[in-house]
Structure 1
Amino acid sequence: MVMRIKPEEHASIAAAIAAAEAKTSGEIFCVLARRVSSYRDISMVWAAAAAMILPLGFIPLGFDAHWFPGFGDTWEAGQLAARDVIIGRTIGVYAVVQAAVFVFAYMILRIPPVTRLFTPRSIRRDRTRQAAMHQFLAHGLHVTQDRTGVLIFAALSDRQVEVIADEGIYSRVDPDIWAEAVTALTSGLKASRPAEGFERAIELAGRVLAEHFPPRPRNPDEVPNRIVEI
């Protein structure tokens, strides 16, 4: 999925964050990631399973080295003493078939839509959350004065959205309350309007923060008002 946020949209998102933060002591930061994982390990697991299982279908059909020209078509095939040679060649050919199945399956599984299809949603969700938490820490959302930082994170290739709130918020706000912001951002991404999705999610997150964390008399901007694309 190729989707970029234009410079003018960066500005409108920054303005939306500033407007939301004007009504709260909380801090909002946004990240748009192309992908959070290559999922090579998942592709390798599926390819290995295919290599182990699919060639077994040849065995009931009488699989042996004769199926492949040049492997079993020799004078040794008619000699009782050559039995071990035939078995060895058959095992060798079977191993070659397994290797071919593995390579073919792995190549197919590296196609992004196929990778996503064969990667369990729970794994995509978990890795997206890990990536979001890394960004949360990397951008200092955990060191705000009242621990009221909120990260709005979207992973395009993984089709996952996360909202992470620091412990100051988590202790006072039901985590389920962020579902509306997640839905708004997801809808924007599905419609190929990521900026609109982020702006709507920022507005909703700002409402939650304003309700529970009104602005302080001195209300410095502790985190830059912007969205980062990675």
Structure 2
Amino acid sequence: MLNDEERRAIEAAVREAETRTSGEIYCVVAAESSDYREIPLAWGAAVALLGPAILLLAGVEVSVPDALEGGWSAAQVGDMAATAARGALVGAVILQGLLFIAVGFLTAWAPVKRLVTPRPLKRARVRQRARELFLTRNLSATRARTGVLIYVSMDERMAELVADEGVADRVEAKAWDGPMAALVAGIKRARPGEGFTEAIRLCADILAEHVPADAADNPNELPDSVVELPRV
């Protein structure tokens, strides 16, 4: 996801930023935030429900002989109607099964799955994953609660920032829009390293204003190197 030059540039940007602030910046880049395994099932089921409608649109009809023509008895017509109805039902069920399998396999293919996954769901999973990482990586364990997670999910092309209470209580949420926009722009240009370094610089400007560094006491409490996570 990142080359050595980009890793070094991000680490240097974090190190420089933290000379200006007591905030602790922690960078994570993930291949994806979720496997979205429910997407093929959801699309397969949704399209399969259209099976009967497809049959109707295709002009498929269920018909039985007229009891007044051909000397059919009412019992015979009733039997043929029941047989025709069962056949139509079996045909519809088979079509639904085939649609479910075909669409399920198609949407299980990663490029298609990314395309058909609703954007709000992607946003929710990225936000959830970022918050999970904030907790599991112990970013809330800094002395002044000034940990800041900058998280990027490559497949979704989305970024999230999570700030601990020592920062969040002093900085309005919308203040992070600029850094996040710079980060996402870098991802979309296939230059994640540049996006990260610009986002870190902008974050440092914000942090230096609200939680400036104490020249006499400013320990480095979190690693400066970027963390890369493989597919889940």
- TM-superposed CA distance for 1:24, in Å, is 0.8
Larger radius of gyration: 2
State the SS of the aligned residue for 2:50. Answer: helix
Tell me by how many angstroms 1:57 deviates.
2.5
Cα distance in 1, alignment partners of residues 62 and 101 from structure 2: 21
- Counterpart CA distance in 2 for 1:64 and 1:122 is 42
- 2:91 match: 93
Task: Please give the alpha-carbon distance, in whole angstroms, between the structure 1 residues aligned to 2:90 and 2:51.
Answer: 16
Change (3 A) 1:140 1:190: same
Alignment correspondent of 1:204: 202
1:171 aligns with 2:169: yes
Give unpaired runs (5+ residues) of structure 1.
Answer: 66-77
The RMSD of aligned alpha carbons is 1.9
1:133 correspondence with 2:118? no
The answer to whether residue 63 in structure 2 is matched with residue 55 in structure 1 is no
Alpha-carbon distance change, 101 to 64 in structure 1, aligned in 2, over 3 angstroms: farther
Structure 1 segments, 4+ long, off by >4 Å, are none
The 1-side partners of 2:212 and 2:16 are apart by 13
* Aligned match for 2:22, one of 21, 25, 47: 25
Residues 133 and 180 (structure 1), Cα distance of their counterparts in 2 relative to 1, 3 Å cut? same
> Tell me, what secondary structure is at the counterpart of 2:140?
helix
Q: TM-score, normalised by structure 2?
A: 0.86
Q: Does the CA contact (< 8 Å) of 1:140 and 1:223 recur in 2?
A: no
TM-score by length of 1: 0.86
Give ranges in structure 2 of 5+ residues lacking alignment: 64-75
Per-residue CA deviation, residues 195-221 of structure 1 (Å, 9 max, x unaligned), is 111111111111111111111322111
Could you give the per-residue CA deviations for residues 48-70 of structure 1, whole angstroms, max 9, x where no partner exists?
111002431313513459xxxxx
Q: Distance in 2 between matches of 1:57 and 1:182?
A: 45
